[in-house]
Amino acid sequence: MIDAPVRDARIRTTVACESRSMQHAGAARYLRAMAAMWVTALGLTLGLPAAAASALTATTPATPAQASVPYRIETVATGLEHPWSLAFLPDGGMLVTERAGRLRLIDAAGTLNPQPIANIPPVSEMSQSGLMEVAIDPEFASNRLVYFTHTYGTKQANNTQLSRARLEGMTLADVQPLFLAKPAKVGGSNNGGRFVFLPDNTLVLSIGDGFDLREQAQNPANHIGKTVRLNRDGSIPRDNPYVGRPGVAGEIFTMGHRNMQGLTYDATAKRLFANEHGPRGGDELNLLAAGGNYGWPMATQGLDYTGARVTPYTQMPGTQPPLLVWTPSVAPSGMAVYTGERFAAWQGDIFVSTLVEKSVRRVKMMAGVPTGEQEVLFKELNARIRDVRDGPDGALYVLTDEQNGRVLRIVPE
Protein backbone atom coordinates (compact mmCIF):
# COMPACT_ATOMS: atom_id res chain seq x y z
CA MET A 1 0.00 0.00 0.00
CA ILE A 2 1.38 3.36 -0.98
CA ASP A 3 1.71 6.05 1.53
CA ALA A 4 -1.06 8.57 0.94
CA PRO A 5 0.95 11.78 1.47
CA VAL A 6 3.59 10.56 -1.03
CA ARG A 7 0.88 9.70 -3.59
CA ASP A 8 -0.80 13.06 -3.12
CA ALA A 9 2.50 14.79 -3.63
CA ARG A 10 2.94 12.93 -6.93
CA ILE A 11 -0.52 13.94 -8.01
CA ARG A 12 0.09 17.55 -7.06
CA THR A 13 3.35 17.55 -9.01
CA THR A 14 1.63 16.10 -12.06
CA VAL A 15 -1.19 18.61 -11.85
CA ALA A 16 1.27 21.47 -11.47
CA CYS A 17 3.19 20.32 -14.56
CA GLU A 18 -0.04 19.94 -16.54
CA SER A 19 -1.17 23.33 -15.37
CA ARG A 20 2.05 25.05 -16.45
CA SER A 21 1.91 23.28 -19.78
CA MET A 22 -1.70 24.42 -20.26
CA GLN A 23 -0.77 27.97 -19.44
CA HIS A 24 1.94 28.15 -22.09
CA ALA A 25 2.25 26.37 -25.43
CA GLY A 26 -0.29 23.72 -24.51
CA ALA A 27 -3.06 26.22 -24.01
CA ALA A 28 -3.23 27.18 -27.65
CA ARG A 29 -3.08 23.53 -28.69
CA TYR A 30 -5.84 22.69 -26.25
CA LEU A 31 -8.04 25.47 -27.57
CA ARG A 32 -7.38 24.35 -31.15
CA ALA A 33 -8.32 20.80 -30.21
CA MET A 34 -11.47 22.07 -28.53
CA ALA A 35 -12.44 24.04 -31.62
CA ALA A 36 -11.79 21.01 -33.83
CA MET A 37 -13.89 18.89 -31.51
CA TRP A 38 -16.79 21.31 -31.68
CA VAL A 39 -16.57 21.44 -35.46
CA THR A 40 -16.54 17.65 -35.54
CA ALA A 41 -19.45 17.54 -33.14
CA LEU A 42 -21.42 19.97 -35.28
CA GLY A 43 -20.71 17.82 -38.31
CA LEU A 44 -21.88 14.76 -36.46
CA THR A 45 -24.93 16.58 -35.19
CA LEU A 46 -26.03 17.93 -38.53
CA GLY A 47 -24.53 15.50 -41.01
CA LEU A 48 -24.62 11.92 -39.85
CA PRO A 49 -28.29 11.90 -38.93
CA ALA A 50 -29.03 12.57 -42.57
CA ALA A 51 -27.44 9.32 -43.56
CA ALA A 52 -29.12 7.54 -40.69
CA ALA A 53 -32.43 9.06 -41.62
CA SER A 54 -32.09 7.92 -45.18
CA ALA A 55 -31.27 4.43 -44.00
CA LEU A 56 -34.21 4.29 -41.63
CA THR A 57 -36.94 5.80 -43.75
CA ALA A 58 -38.52 4.18 -46.72
CA THR A 59 -37.98 6.26 -49.82
CA THR A 60 -40.86 7.15 -52.07
CA PRO A 61 -39.51 7.15 -55.61
CA ALA A 62 -40.15 10.38 -57.44
CA THR A 63 -40.10 8.69 -60.83
CA PRO A 64 -38.76 11.85 -62.47
CA ALA A 65 -39.03 11.81 -66.21
CA GLN A 66 -37.24 13.80 -68.87
CA ALA A 67 -38.62 17.28 -69.55
CA SER A 68 -41.73 16.37 -71.47
CA VAL A 69 -42.32 19.77 -73.03
CA PRO A 70 -39.67 22.11 -74.43
CA TYR A 71 -39.69 25.41 -72.57
CA ARG A 72 -37.77 28.65 -72.30
CA ILE A 73 -37.07 30.56 -69.08
CA GLU A 74 -37.37 34.35 -69.30
CA THR A 75 -36.32 36.79 -66.60
CA VAL A 76 -39.08 39.21 -65.65
CA ALA A 77 -37.38 40.98 -62.73
CA THR A 78 -34.28 40.71 -60.57
CA GLY A 79 -33.03 42.42 -57.43
CA LEU A 80 -35.77 41.19 -55.13
CA GLU A 81 -34.66 40.22 -51.62
CA HIS A 82 -35.98 36.73 -50.93
CA PRO A 83 -39.27 37.13 -52.81
CA TRP A 84 -41.99 34.99 -51.24
CA SER A 85 -45.20 35.40 -53.18
CA LEU A 86 -46.61 36.77 -56.40
CA ALA A 87 -50.05 38.11 -57.27
CA PHE A 88 -51.17 39.06 -60.77
CA LEU A 89 -53.01 42.35 -61.21
CA PRO A 90 -55.81 42.76 -63.76
CA ASP A 91 -53.76 45.32 -65.73
CA GLY A 92 -50.98 42.81 -66.40
CA GLY A 93 -48.77 43.95 -63.54
CA MET A 94 -47.73 41.94 -60.49
CA LEU A 95 -47.33 42.38 -56.77
CA VAL A 96 -44.35 40.62 -55.21
CA THR A 97 -43.58 40.30 -51.51
CA GLU A 98 -40.04 40.39 -50.16
CA ARG A 99 -39.58 38.51 -46.92
CA ALA A 100 -37.84 41.49 -45.35
CA GLY A 101 -41.16 43.34 -45.34
CA ARG A 102 -41.48 45.09 -48.69
CA LEU A 103 -44.32 44.84 -51.20
CA ARG A 104 -43.06 45.54 -54.72
CA LEU A 105 -44.86 46.37 -57.94
CA ILE A 106 -43.89 45.12 -61.37
CA ASP A 107 -45.85 47.01 -64.02
CA ALA A 108 -47.45 45.50 -67.10
CA ALA A 109 -44.30 46.26 -69.11
CA GLY A 110 -42.28 44.14 -66.69
CA THR A 111 -40.49 47.01 -64.97
CA LEU A 112 -39.87 46.66 -61.24
CA ASN A 113 -40.76 49.91 -59.49
CA PRO A 114 -37.67 50.87 -57.45
CA GLN A 115 -39.84 52.09 -54.57
CA PRO A 116 -41.79 49.58 -52.46
CA ILE A 117 -45.47 50.11 -51.91
CA ALA A 118 -45.93 52.21 -48.79
CA ASN A 119 -47.72 51.35 -45.55
CA ILE A 120 -46.91 47.66 -45.14
CA PRO A 121 -47.12 47.23 -41.36
CA PRO A 122 -43.90 46.37 -39.50
CA VAL A 123 -43.06 42.70 -39.85
CA SER A 124 -40.98 40.50 -37.59
CA GLU A 125 -38.31 39.19 -39.96
CA MET A 126 -36.12 36.32 -38.77
CA SER A 127 -35.05 33.07 -40.42
CA GLN A 128 -38.24 31.92 -42.20
CA SER A 129 -40.59 34.66 -41.06
CA GLY A 130 -41.41 38.12 -42.36
CA LEU A 131 -43.73 39.28 -45.13
CA MET A 132 -45.06 36.19 -46.85
CA GLU A 133 -48.14 35.70 -49.02
CA VAL A 134 -49.93 38.33 -51.11
CA ALA A 135 -53.15 37.93 -53.07
CA ILE A 136 -55.70 40.28 -54.51
CA ASP A 137 -59.39 40.07 -53.75
CA PRO A 138 -61.33 38.11 -56.38
CA GLU A 139 -63.24 41.38 -56.90
CA PHE A 140 -60.11 43.52 -56.92
CA ALA A 141 -61.16 45.35 -60.06
CA SER A 142 -63.95 46.98 -58.11
CA ASN A 143 -62.66 47.06 -54.51
CA ARG A 144 -58.83 47.26 -54.90
CA LEU A 145 -58.37 45.05 -51.84
CA VAL A 146 -55.07 43.28 -51.25
CA TYR A 147 -54.52 40.56 -48.65
CA PHE A 148 -51.16 39.61 -47.22
CA THR A 149 -49.64 37.55 -44.41
CA HIS A 150 -46.74 38.54 -42.21
CA THR A 151 -45.25 37.68 -38.86
CA TYR A 152 -46.36 39.74 -35.90
CA GLY A 153 -44.56 40.07 -32.58
CA THR A 154 -40.99 39.49 -31.48
CA LYS A 155 -38.49 36.66 -31.61
CA GLN A 156 -39.77 35.43 -28.25
CA ALA A 157 -43.48 35.73 -29.08
CA ASN A 158 -44.68 35.79 -32.68
CA ASN A 159 -46.98 34.12 -35.15
CA THR A 160 -48.71 34.63 -38.48
CA GLN A 161 -51.08 37.51 -39.16
CA LEU A 162 -53.44 38.04 -42.08
CA SER A 163 -54.02 41.66 -43.05
CA ARG A 164 -56.02 43.45 -45.70
CA ALA A 165 -55.64 46.89 -47.28
CA ARG A 166 -56.79 48.90 -50.26
CA LEU A 167 -54.19 49.51 -52.96
CA GLU A 168 -54.15 53.17 -53.98
CA GLY A 169 -51.36 53.78 -56.44
CA MET A 170 -48.14 53.01 -54.57
CA THR A 171 -49.74 53.11 -51.13
CA LEU A 172 -51.78 50.73 -49.02
CA ALA A 173 -54.74 52.45 -47.39
CA ASP A 174 -56.99 51.29 -44.55
CA VAL A 175 -54.65 48.50 -43.44
CA GLN A 176 -56.69 46.10 -41.28
CA PRO A 177 -55.53 43.08 -39.33
CA LEU A 178 -58.03 40.33 -40.10
CA PHE A 179 -56.64 37.38 -38.16
CA LEU A 180 -53.80 36.67 -35.73
CA ALA A 181 -52.75 33.07 -35.21
CA LYS A 182 -52.56 32.19 -31.52
CA PRO A 183 -50.81 31.38 -29.30
CA ALA A 184 -47.57 33.17 -30.04
CA LYS A 185 -44.51 30.97 -30.53
CA VAL A 186 -40.77 31.39 -30.08
CA GLY A 187 -38.46 31.81 -33.07
CA GLY A 188 -39.03 32.27 -36.78
CA SER A 189 -39.61 28.68 -37.88
CA ASN A 190 -42.68 26.94 -39.30
CA ASN A 191 -45.03 29.86 -39.84
CA GLY A 192 -47.20 28.52 -42.64
CA GLY A 193 -48.49 31.79 -44.05
CA ARG A 194 -49.95 30.71 -47.40
CA PHE A 195 -53.62 31.31 -48.20
CA VAL A 196 -56.00 30.72 -51.07
CA PHE A 197 -59.44 32.04 -51.91
CA LEU A 198 -62.26 29.56 -52.31
CA PRO A 199 -65.22 30.09 -54.64
CA ASP A 200 -67.60 30.47 -51.67
CA ASN A 201 -66.13 33.90 -50.74
CA THR A 202 -63.98 32.45 -47.98
CA LEU A 203 -60.25 31.88 -47.78
CA VAL A 204 -58.13 29.13 -46.23
CA LEU A 205 -54.89 30.09 -44.49
CA SER A 206 -52.11 27.78 -43.31
CA ILE A 207 -50.54 28.12 -39.87
CA GLY A 208 -47.36 26.20 -39.03
CA ASP A 209 -46.58 24.32 -35.85
CA GLY A 210 -43.89 26.77 -34.76
CA PHE A 211 -41.38 23.89 -34.67
CA ASP A 212 -41.31 23.53 -30.90
CA LEU A 213 -45.08 23.26 -30.52
CA ARG A 214 -45.67 20.21 -32.69
CA GLU A 215 -48.03 18.45 -30.27
CA GLN A 216 -50.28 21.53 -30.40
CA ALA A 217 -51.14 20.59 -33.98
CA GLN A 218 -53.53 18.11 -32.33
CA ASN A 219 -54.99 20.66 -29.90
CA PRO A 220 -58.27 21.97 -31.33
CA ALA A 221 -58.27 24.91 -28.92
CA ASN A 222 -55.65 26.90 -30.88
CA HIS A 223 -54.40 27.66 -34.39
CA ILE A 224 -51.00 25.93 -34.23
CA GLY A 225 -50.49 23.40 -37.01
CA LYS A 226 -53.88 24.07 -38.59
CA THR A 227 -55.53 25.56 -41.62
CA VAL A 228 -58.15 28.15 -40.79
CA ARG A 229 -61.10 29.16 -42.96
CA LEU A 230 -62.22 32.76 -42.76
CA ASN A 231 -64.62 35.09 -44.45
CA ARG A 232 -62.89 37.82 -46.39
CA ASP A 233 -63.45 40.26 -43.52
CA GLY A 234 -61.74 37.86 -41.09
CA SER A 235 -64.91 36.62 -39.44
CA ILE A 236 -65.61 32.92 -38.92
CA PRO A 237 -67.89 31.25 -41.49
CA ARG A 238 -70.92 29.66 -39.88
CA ASP A 239 -70.35 26.40 -41.71
CA ASN A 240 -66.80 25.84 -40.49
CA PRO A 241 -66.40 22.24 -39.28
CA TYR A 242 -65.83 23.03 -35.60
CA VAL A 243 -67.98 26.14 -35.16
CA GLY A 244 -69.91 26.18 -31.91
CA ARG A 245 -68.00 23.39 -30.21
CA PRO A 246 -66.90 24.41 -26.74
CA GLY A 247 -63.16 24.70 -26.29
CA VAL A 248 -62.48 24.53 -30.01
CA ALA A 249 -61.20 27.38 -32.20
CA GLY A 250 -64.01 28.02 -34.66
CA GLU A 251 -61.63 29.15 -37.39
CA ILE A 252 -60.14 25.66 -37.78
CA PHE A 253 -60.67 24.01 -41.15
CA THR A 254 -58.15 21.16 -40.85
CA MET A 255 -55.62 20.13 -38.20
CA GLY A 256 -52.56 17.96 -37.66
CA HIS A 257 -50.18 19.85 -39.93
CA ARG A 258 -46.51 20.73 -39.60
CA ASN A 259 -45.65 23.58 -41.95
CA MET A 260 -47.66 24.19 -45.10
CA GLN A 261 -46.22 26.68 -47.54
CA GLY A 262 -48.28 25.63 -50.53
CA LEU A 263 -52.05 25.84 -51.00
CA THR A 264 -53.92 25.72 -54.26
CA TYR A 265 -57.52 25.25 -55.27
CA ASP A 266 -58.28 23.21 -58.37
CA ALA A 267 -61.42 24.91 -59.66
CA THR A 268 -62.07 22.20 -62.24
CA ALA A 269 -61.82 19.25 -59.87
CA LYS A 270 -63.19 21.39 -56.99
CA ARG A 271 -60.38 20.20 -54.72
CA LEU A 272 -58.17 22.04 -52.24
CA PHE A 273 -54.57 20.84 -52.06
CA ALA A 274 -51.83 21.66 -49.58
CA ASN A 275 -48.19 20.74 -49.45
CA GLU A 276 -46.36 20.42 -46.19
CA HIS A 277 -42.76 20.39 -45.06
CA GLY A 278 -41.98 17.19 -43.19
CA PRO A 279 -39.07 17.22 -40.77
CA ARG A 280 -36.27 15.15 -42.37
CA GLY A 281 -38.20 13.33 -45.04
CA GLY A 282 -41.96 13.00 -45.01
CA ASP A 283 -42.81 16.06 -47.10
CA GLU A 284 -46.43 15.69 -48.12
CA LEU A 285 -49.04 16.59 -50.69
CA ASN A 286 -52.47 16.51 -49.09
CA LEU A 287 -56.03 16.81 -50.26
CA LEU A 288 -57.74 19.00 -47.67
CA ALA A 289 -61.23 18.20 -46.51
CA ALA A 290 -63.20 20.18 -43.93
CA GLY A 291 -62.58 18.83 -40.44
CA GLY A 292 -59.78 16.52 -41.55
CA ASN A 293 -56.93 15.55 -39.26
CA TYR A 294 -53.67 15.06 -41.16
CA GLY A 295 -51.86 13.27 -38.36
CA TRP A 296 -48.84 15.36 -37.40
CA PRO A 297 -47.06 14.58 -35.13
CA MET A 298 -48.77 11.24 -34.36
CA ALA A 299 -47.97 9.89 -37.82
CA THR A 300 -45.28 10.93 -40.27
CA GLN A 301 -42.91 9.31 -42.71
CA GLY A 302 -40.16 11.72 -41.69
CA LEU A 303 -37.64 11.73 -38.87
CA ASP A 304 -36.61 14.64 -36.71
CA TYR A 305 -33.62 16.64 -37.98
CA THR A 306 -31.47 14.91 -35.38
CA GLY A 307 -32.40 11.49 -36.75
CA ALA A 308 -34.75 10.78 -33.83
CA ARG A 309 -38.18 9.29 -34.32
CA VAL A 310 -40.94 11.85 -33.90
CA THR A 311 -43.41 9.01 -33.58
CA PRO A 312 -43.27 5.27 -34.17
CA TYR A 313 -46.13 5.47 -36.65
CA THR A 314 -46.27 6.40 -40.32
CA GLN A 315 -50.04 6.25 -40.43
CA MET A 316 -52.76 6.52 -37.85
CA PRO A 317 -56.43 5.48 -37.89
CA GLY A 318 -58.70 8.51 -37.98
CA THR A 319 -56.20 10.68 -39.82
CA GLN A 320 -55.92 11.47 -43.49
CA PRO A 321 -52.94 9.91 -45.28
CA PRO A 322 -51.03 12.09 -47.74
CA LEU A 323 -51.59 11.75 -51.48
CA LEU A 324 -47.83 11.86 -51.98
CA VAL A 325 -44.76 11.73 -49.79
CA TRP A 326 -41.32 13.03 -50.65
CA THR A 327 -38.47 11.31 -48.82
CA PRO A 328 -35.75 12.53 -48.81
CA SER A 329 -37.20 16.00 -48.37
CA VAL A 330 -37.57 18.29 -51.34
CA ALA A 331 -38.83 21.14 -49.07
CA PRO A 332 -42.04 22.06 -50.91
CA SER A 333 -42.86 25.76 -50.93
CA GLY A 334 -45.41 27.22 -53.34
CA MET A 335 -47.95 25.30 -55.41
CA ALA A 336 -50.22 25.90 -58.38
CA VAL A 337 -52.57 24.04 -60.67
CA TYR A 338 -51.74 24.82 -64.29
CA THR A 339 -54.82 25.93 -66.22
CA GLY A 340 -53.25 27.70 -69.21
CA GLU A 341 -53.38 26.88 -72.91
CA ARG A 342 -49.71 27.31 -73.80
CA PHE A 343 -48.57 24.01 -72.24
CA ALA A 344 -51.42 21.72 -73.23
CA ALA A 345 -49.69 18.67 -71.75
CA TRP A 346 -49.52 20.33 -68.35
CA GLN A 347 -53.20 21.25 -68.00
CA GLY A 348 -54.67 20.16 -64.68
CA ASP A 349 -51.30 19.14 -63.26
CA ILE A 350 -50.00 20.41 -59.92
CA PHE A 351 -46.69 22.25 -59.83
CA VAL A 352 -44.79 22.33 -56.54
CA SER A 353 -41.79 24.60 -56.09
CA THR A 354 -39.04 23.24 -53.87
CA LEU A 355 -36.30 24.82 -51.80
CA VAL A 356 -33.92 21.96 -51.08
CA GLU A 357 -34.27 20.13 -54.38
CA LYS A 358 -34.10 23.51 -56.18
CA SER A 359 -36.72 22.51 -58.67
CA VAL A 360 -40.36 22.60 -59.56
CA ARG A 361 -42.08 19.25 -59.35
CA ARG A 362 -44.80 18.60 -61.87
CA VAL A 363 -47.24 16.18 -60.28
CA LYS A 364 -49.25 14.66 -63.06
CA MET A 365 -52.95 14.58 -62.21
CA MET A 366 -55.91 12.73 -63.62
CA ALA A 367 -59.35 14.02 -62.59
CA GLY A 368 -57.85 15.71 -59.54
CA VAL A 369 -55.87 12.65 -58.41
CA PRO A 370 -52.09 12.13 -58.77
CA THR A 371 -51.26 9.48 -61.34
CA GLY A 372 -47.99 8.66 -59.59
CA GLU A 373 -45.87 10.25 -62.31
CA GLN A 374 -43.74 13.26 -61.49
CA GLU A 375 -41.38 15.42 -63.45
CA VAL A 376 -38.50 17.43 -61.98
CA LEU A 377 -38.25 20.77 -63.77
CA PHE A 378 -35.98 23.82 -63.81
CA LYS A 379 -33.06 22.23 -61.98
CA GLU A 380 -30.82 24.16 -64.35
CA LEU A 381 -31.63 27.31 -62.38
CA ASN A 382 -29.74 25.84 -59.41
CA ALA A 383 -31.80 28.07 -57.12
CA ARG A 384 -34.14 27.55 -54.21
CA ILE A 385 -37.61 28.21 -55.60
CA ARG A 386 -40.06 29.83 -53.21
CA ASP A 387 -43.20 30.05 -55.28
CA VAL A 388 -44.75 28.88 -58.52
CA ARG A 389 -47.79 30.47 -60.13
CA ASP A 390 -50.15 29.79 -62.97
CA GLY A 391 -50.00 33.05 -64.95
CA PRO A 392 -53.06 34.56 -66.61
CA ASP A 393 -51.07 34.64 -69.87
CA GLY A 394 -50.66 30.84 -69.90
CA ALA A 395 -47.04 31.01 -68.70
CA LEU A 396 -45.74 29.53 -65.48
CA TYR A 397 -44.05 31.95 -63.08
CA VAL A 398 -41.51 31.13 -60.39
CA LEU A 399 -39.74 33.12 -57.67
CA THR A 400 -36.20 32.25 -56.65
CA ASP A 401 -35.40 32.41 -52.95
CA GLU A 402 -32.17 34.40 -53.07
CA GLN A 403 -30.71 37.63 -51.76
CA ASN A 404 -30.90 38.79 -55.38
CA GLY A 405 -34.14 36.97 -56.08
CA ARG A 406 -35.76 36.77 -59.48
CA VAL A 407 -39.20 36.56 -61.04
CA LEU A 408 -38.99 34.12 -63.94
CA ARG A 409 -41.50 33.28 -66.63
CA ILE A 410 -41.59 29.86 -68.28
CA VAL A 411 -42.98 29.82 -71.80
CA PRO A 412 -43.04 27.17 -74.53
CA GLU A 413 -39.87 26.97 -76.62
Partner 1 sequence: MRHRGRLRAVGHFAAAVAATTIAGTIVQTQINLYDIQQLGVDIPAAIRLRTSAEDLLGFSPTMAGLAAAALLPALPFAVWLARRYRWVRGALFALGGWCALLIAFFIADAVAPMPTLVAATRTIAGAVAVAASGAVGGIVFYLLWSRAARLATHPVATQGGSIDD
Provide the minimum distance between the beta carbon of 7 and partner 1 in the complex, in angstroms, as a whole number: 5
Provide the minimum distance between the beta carbon of 173 and partner 1 in the complex, in angstroms, as a whole number: 36
Query: Measured from the CB atom, is 134 or 252 closer to partner 1?
Result: 252
Give, rounded to a whole angstrom, the gap between the first and last alpha carbons of the chain.
90
Q: Which long-range contacts (CB under 8 A, 24 or more apart) does 267-271 make?
A: 267/199, 267/337, 267/339, 268/337, 268/339, 268/348, 268/368, 269/348, 269/365, 269/367, 269/368, 270/368, 271/368
Provide the minimum distance between the beta carbon of 277 and partner 1 in the complex, in angstroms, as a whole number: 12
**Other beta carbons within 10 Å of 157:** 12
Provide the minimum distance between the beta carbon of 247 and partner 1 in the complex, in angstroms, as a whole number: 16
What is the maximum span of the chain, computed from C-alpha positions, in angstroms? 98
Distance CA 274, CA 363 (A): 13
Dump the DSSP string for 122-165.
P---BTTBSEEEEEE-TTHHHH-EEEEEEEEEETTEEEEEEEEE
Query: Measured from the CB atom, is 19 or 235 closer to partner 1?
Result: 19
Question: Which residue ranges make up the site for partner 1 (CB under 8 A)?
Answer: 1-2, 7, 10-12, 15, 33-34, 37-38, 40-46, 48-49, 52-53, 55-56, 127, 186-187, 189, 210-212, 214-215, 218, 297-298, 303-313, 316
Provide the minimum distance between the beta carbon of 218 and partner 1 in the complex, in angstroms, as a whole number: 5
Query: Measured from the CB atom, is 108 or 308 closer to partner 1?
Result: 308
Provide the minimum distance between the beta carbon of 357 and partner 1 in the complex, in angstroms, as a whole number: 18
Query: Measured from the CB atom, is 69 or 126 closer to partner 1?
Result: 126
Q: What is the enclosing helix (H) or strand (E) of 22?
A: helix 4-23
Query: Measured from the CB atom, is 78 or 127 closer to partner 1?
Result: 127
Query: Measured from the CB atom, is 163 or 320 closer to partner 1?
Result: 320
CA proximity to 395, closest of 133, 72, 48? 72
